[in-house]
C-alpha cells in the first residue's frame, strides 16, 4: 500500500522543504531535488526553474522572466535578464547594446535574435516594419 501511495504523494527527501514536496505532488513537472530544480504550482499556471546560476519563471507561458540567481552584478558580468508579456512587451538586457532590446508591440520596438530573424524593428506596426535575417533585409 505504501508503494502505491508514494506514486501520488512523494515523500520528502532529507533537507528538502515541505513546499517542494507538495508542489511535486501537484505538478507533473516537479523534481526530486538537486540542481537544476523546478517548482510548479498547478502547472502550467506558475512555473519556477533554476539551475543555480540563472532563474526563470512563467505565468501561463504569457508572462516570462529570466535573470541571474545572484543579485550581485559586476561590471564585466554577461548576465542575461529578460521580461516578456505576450504579445505586447519584450525586453532583454545582456549588458551589450548589440544584443539588448526593449519593444512595446505594436507601438515601437526593436527585437534582436528572436522570432527567427536577426533584427526586427517596427513603429506603429504595420505602418513601418523592417527585419533582417542573416545579414539580409
Per-residue pLDDT of the chain (137 residues; tens, 9 = 90+): 444 443 333 444 444 444 444 444 444 444 444 467 888 888 889 999 988 788 899 999 899 999 987 765 555 555 789 999 998 999 999 888 888 999 999 999 999 988 888 999 999 999 999 999 987 76
Give pLDDT, residue 98. 87
Give pLDDT, residue 102. 92
pTM above 0.85, yes or no: no
How far apart (Å, rounded) are the C-alpha atoms in residues 44 and 5?
24
How far apart (Å, rounded) are the C-alpha atoms in residues 14 and 11?
9
Where do the structural domains in the chain lie, given as residue ranges? 1-52, 53-137
Cβ–Cβ < 8 Å for 69, 50: yes
Give pLDDT, residue 127. 93
Q: Is the dihedral of CA 92, 96, 99, 103 positive or negative?
A: positive
Nearest CA to 104 out of 117, 118, 121 is that of: 121
Residues in contact with 117: Cβ distance below 8 Å, sequence separation at least 6, in sequence order:
111, 131, 132, 133
Give pLDDT, residue 70. 72
How far apart (Å, rounded) are the C-alpha atoms in residues 117 and 130?
10
Nearest CA to 104 out of 119, 86, 116 is that of: 86
Give pLDDT, residue 75. 54
How far apart (Å, rounded) are the C-alpha atoms in residues 61 and 98?
26
Amino acid at each position: 500500500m505504501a508503494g502505491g501511495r508514494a506514486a501520488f504523494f512523494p515523500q520528502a527527501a532529507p533537507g528538502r522543504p515541505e513546499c517542494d514536496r507538495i508542489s511535486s505532488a501537484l505538478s507533473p513537472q516537479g523534481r526530486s531535488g538537486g540542481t537544476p530544480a523546478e517548482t510548479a504550482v498547478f502547472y502550467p499556471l506558475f512555473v519556477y526553474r533554476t539551475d543555480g546560476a540563472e532563474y526563470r519563471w512563467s505565468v501561463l507561458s504569457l508572462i516570462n522572466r529570466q535573470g541571474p540567481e545572484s543579485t550581485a552584478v559586476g561590471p564585466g558580468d554577461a548576465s542575461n535578464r529578460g521580461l516578456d508579456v505576450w504579445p505586447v512587451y519584450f525586453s532583454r538586457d545582456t549588458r551589450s547594446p548589440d544584443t539588448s532590446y526593449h519593444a512595446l508591440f505594436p507601438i515601437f520596438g526593436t527585437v534582436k535574435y528572436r522570432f527567427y530573424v536577426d533584427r526586427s524593428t517596427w513603429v506603429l506596426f504595420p505602418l513601418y516594419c523592417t527585419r533582417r535575417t542573416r545579414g539580409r533585409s
